Amino acid sequence: MFEPDDLIIEARHLTKSYQLSRHRFLTACDDVSLNFYKNRTLGIVGESGCGKSTFIRMAVGLEKPTSGEILFHGKNITERKGEELRLSRRNIQMIFQDPGEAFHPRMKVKEIICEPLINFNLIKKNEIDSKARELLEMVELPGSFAERYAHDMSGGQRQRVGIARALALEPEVIICDEITSALDVSVQQTIVELLLDLQKRKQISIGFISHDLALVQQFAHQIAVMYLGNVVEILSGKEVGTKARHPYTQALLNSIFDLNMDFSKEIVSMESEIPSPLNIPDGCPFQNRCIHCMDICRAEKPGLWEIEPDHLAACHQFNRFNYREDK
């Protein structure tokens, strides 16, 4: 399902530590390796503060990693800057929670949508109207919305404008950072359907960051679950409901009620608070909330073990399986 030829971005062992004071460091992202493939969706889920945005900011070049590297079509672009960074950004576009906040209130929708093309000198003034209409129709909005202002539109319509703007440069990858969190459930579904349709037509790679595992598991080809800066499980979106093994993923699933879930499995819940990222314990980061915690969990941090093909989990319960050095 994930062909090496379709690999677009390879993020290898990305770590980001922020120095807060002379002796205090906060590790927002710890040795995270994830890939983005053509025509595939990678969902990144986890609670607020687990490092999802930090990882993405590094992967798209908005932030330098403390260590690790990023390959784009096999080329190391970790140290890109200046014109090289600008050009690589053309291929990776981001959409945020409320793009309306980022839109200039005095700009018409057509100017908002075509701004990236203007910035890259890819459009003439007299082409703006027709290009804006074409892009609006692509995201299933009437072409006449080109003359509107973003504040005259609903949240779902503004999000469609955000998608049209992100697609204007025909990027290979789009990153959606909590883009449905502020929308009603019914509108969320229509935005997801639009994205999936655009993916099918344009073969784009989608990175979908969300705290909502119930939503992401419906369409992501692969899901990475993050906890306190670490990826604790990677598996196919389709199989999350039946095959998730990490106690944290299981606890997240516990809050989802879905007819496809396997209810014969033990239900796990999280009793204690998430530790401060400034005070991550030695050993497994999930130990103080885990009902299966063993002595080894307090002493050694588990690696991401492959527990079956295309399914990895960072949990000592599974360390009898082969440990993959490269993950």
Binding-site member from 15, 41, 54, 205 for ligand ATP (CB under 6 A): 54
- Smallest CA-to-CA distance from 128 within 106, 143, 149, 150 is with 143
Count of CB atoms within 10 A of residue 141's CB? 21
Q: Which of 5, 22, 48, 74 binds ligand ATP (CB under 6 A)?
A: 48
Element (H, E) at 56: helix 52-59
Give yes or no for residue 210 binding ligand ATP (CB under 6 A): no
Distance (Å) of CA 325 to CA 224, 236, 303: 18, 21, 9
Among residues 225 and 307, whose Cβ is nearest to ligand ATP? Answer: 225
The nearest distance, CB 87 to ligand ATP, in angstroms, is 26
User: Which of 51, 99, 171, 237: binder of ligand ATP (CB under 6 A)?
Assistant: 51
Q: Interface with ligand ATP by CB under 6 A: which range of 46-54, 109-117, 239-247, 266-274?
A: 46-54
Between strands 41-45 and 67-72, the pairing is unpaired
CB of 197 to ligand ATP, least distance (A): 26
Beta strands 222-227 and 311-313 are unpaired
Nearest-angstrom CA–CA distance, 9 and 200? 19
Residues of this chain, 241-300, that bind ligand ATP according to CB under 6 A: 277
Distances from the Cα of 108 to the Cα of 104, 270, 318, angstroms:
9, 47, 55
Of 15, 41, 53, 250, the residue at the interface with ligand ATP (CB under 6 A) is: 53
Place of tokens 């103080």: 288
* 49 is a contact residue toward ligand ATP (CB under 6 A): yes
Is 155 a binding residue for ligand ATP by CB under 6 A? The answer is: no
# binding residues, ligand ATP (CB under 6 A): 13
Nearer to ligand ATP, 28 or 139 (CB): 28
DSSP 176-226: EESTTTTS-HHHHHHHHHHHHHHHHHH--EEEEEES-HHHHTTT-SEEEEE
Site string for ligand ATP, 6-45 (x = CB under 6 A): ------------x-------x-x-----------------
Q: Contact region for ligand ATP (CB under 6 A) — 52-60, 127-135, 161-169, 300-308? A: 52-60
Residues forming contacts to ligand ATP in the complex (CB under 6 A) are: 18, 26, 28, 46, 48-54, 211, 277
